[in-house]
Structure 1
Amino acid sequence: MKILVVDDNLSLLDQIRQILENQRYIVETATDGEKALNKLFDNPFDAIILDIMMPKIDGLTVLEEVRKAGIDVPVLMLTAKGDVEDRVKGLDLGADDYLAKPFSLDELVARLRALLRRAGGQCESVLQVHDLQLDTKSRKVTKSGNPIELTPREFSILEFLLHNKNRAVSRFSLAEHVWGDDFDPFSMSNFMDVHIKNLRQKIGDSGERKIIRTIRGVGYIIGDTE
């Protein structure tokens, strides 16, 4: 499942990202409300962990805009300890739960699981295109039932593309997901091409009807349609 975590505290953001990725969630992050809205309007998510106090656009405004846009995913608000007014306003605006800082990361994960259970989950554990399957829980990839060994980077690329099946994904969005803040578009510009090439070879993606297609000037798309 894909989670968006929004907080301007970089240390906390990194801790949340790590613990969620260890639980096999796909994690995207944003450090301010403006970046959060851009990501939310461009990509589907299964849940949002959203801090209230942030630069540019605060969390309550982000929540309000999200609900106005009809994005009905579970939202876990992070609030300052004892700030009852913000909690009440957040719940009124459509937040599903809140957690006061400082909090236990284990409690955050438990709260998130509860929200996802109540929401029924919006992503299947098995992602598929044609005879290619990726299981997000077991981290296994098969084609026509035969196992395919991928590196962690290759798996992450394929998983991100499959979560956005039949939608063009920009090179930057894909690189940001796979490498995070470590990606330098100037010194690492050919990294994506190399990994895509290796991934295509491993999944036997050749010929005229490729599963992973390059969209010139944009990025890549994976899907059933031409």
Structure 2
Amino acid sequence: MSTQAPQILVADDDSEIRKLLARYMREQGFRVLLASSCMEVSEKIVLHQLDLIILDVMLPDGSGLDLCRDLRAARSNIPIILLTALQEDVDRIIGLEIGADDYLGKPFNPRELAARVRAVLRRGVNARPEPRPTGLYQFEDFVVDPSLRSVRDPQGRTITLTGAEFDLLIIFLDRPGRVLSREQLLDLAGRSGADVLDRSIDVLVSRLRRKLSNDSAPQLFKAIRNGGYQFAARVSTVDGRP
């Protein structure tokens, strides 16, 4: 029996864009709900099980950036793709810093948006990954469970990560000590088609540094000049394999 198609919410104040995206995304096999304001987005989140939100930055009753920030502050892990007409790279980076999983600048090709939606869903928190044979990862008294997609700090508290943050962490944990270039990380994260100016890897590493900060632990993610990043801590698994 086939599984139910992912349900996505398209939030944009332009009725023509909403109609276009609704028609195209349904043709691509998605179930689609629509919203034209921050208030409608909040209502849909309460009433429906959403797999992903396509969120315009400029909405009539507020900013999509503020709404994204509020959702992450409320520990919502619903994947979010921002639609933005802002051309400055720094504005797009702000969206990623506050917890968005991806962004796409207007005007855009609906085919590219659909591809990004699929990529985010593949790596997102709503995916159902197969249990990994290596079990739990451990480093600096942190414990990571890939099958549950959970992270616990040395005090046993759960650390909330977005889907993109968690998948990037797993990439590093699978390759401790290796220097990984931004291009390698983009490819391993399924974002090899990202824009040349896309600094999402830098933003995600910065967010992981902040969330996994520990006064007693060394710098976990080392920036290597002209190289990329290196996960510096020793990583082991529950059965003791390094």
Provide the TM-score with structure 1 as the length reference.
Answer: 0.52
Instruction: Tell me how far apart the structure 2 counterparts of residues 82 and 61 of structure 1 sit (CA, whole Å).
Output: 18
- What is the SS of the residue equivalent to 1:24? coil
| Correspondence for 2:87 among 74, 82, 85 | 82
What amino acid is the match of 1:67?
R
- What is the SS of the residue equivalent to 2:82? strand
Deviation of residue 121 (structure 1)? Answer: 4.0
Instruction: Give runs of aligned pairs for residues 30-179 of structure 1, distance below 5 A.
Output: 30-119=35-124, 121-122=126-127
Structure with higher helix content? 1
Instruction: Tell me how far apart the structure 2 counterparts of residues 69 and 43 of structure 1 sit (CA, whole Å).
Output: 17
- What is the SS of the residue equivalent to 1:3? strand
Q: Contact (CA 8 Å) 2:54, 2:80: kept in 1 or not?
A: yes
Deviation of residue 5 (structure 1)? Answer: 0.6
For each residue in 1:25-62, what CA deviation from the matched residue of structure 2 results, as whole angstroms up to 9, or x when unmatched? Answer: 11011001111112113322101100001111210111
Identity %: 37
What amino acid is the match of 2:103?
Y
Q: Contact (CA 8 Å) 1:50, 1:75: kept in 2 or not?
A: yes
The count of aligned residue pairs is: 123
Number of the residue aligned with 1:11: 16
Number of the residue aligned with 1:27: 32
Q: Assess, with a 3 A threshold, how the Cα gap between structure 1 residues 40 and 25 changes in structure 2: closer, same or farther.
A: same
Instruction: Tell me how far apart the structure 1 counterparts of residues 88 and 44 of structure 2 sit (CA, whole Å).
Output: 27
Q: Contact (CA 8 Å) 2:10, 2:35: kept in 1 or not?
A: yes
Q: Contact (CA 8 Å) 1:46, 1:122: kept in 2 or not?
A: no
Q: Contact (CA 8 Å) 1:4, 1:49: kept in 2 or not?
A: yes
Instruction: Tell me how far apart the structure 1 counterparts of residues 106 and 44 of structure 2 sit (CA, whole Å).
Output: 24
- What is the SS of the residue equivalent to 2:61? coil
Deviation of residue 120 (structure 1)? Answer: 6.0
For each residue in 1:59-94, what CA deviation from the matched residue of structure 2 results, as whole angstroms up to 9, or x when unmatched? Answer: 011101211222102111001151333312111110
- What is the SS of the residue equivalent to 2:8? strand
Instruction: Tell me how far apart the structure 2 counterparts of residues 49 and 91 of structure 1 sit (CA, whole Å).
Output: 14
What amino acid is the match of 1:50?
L
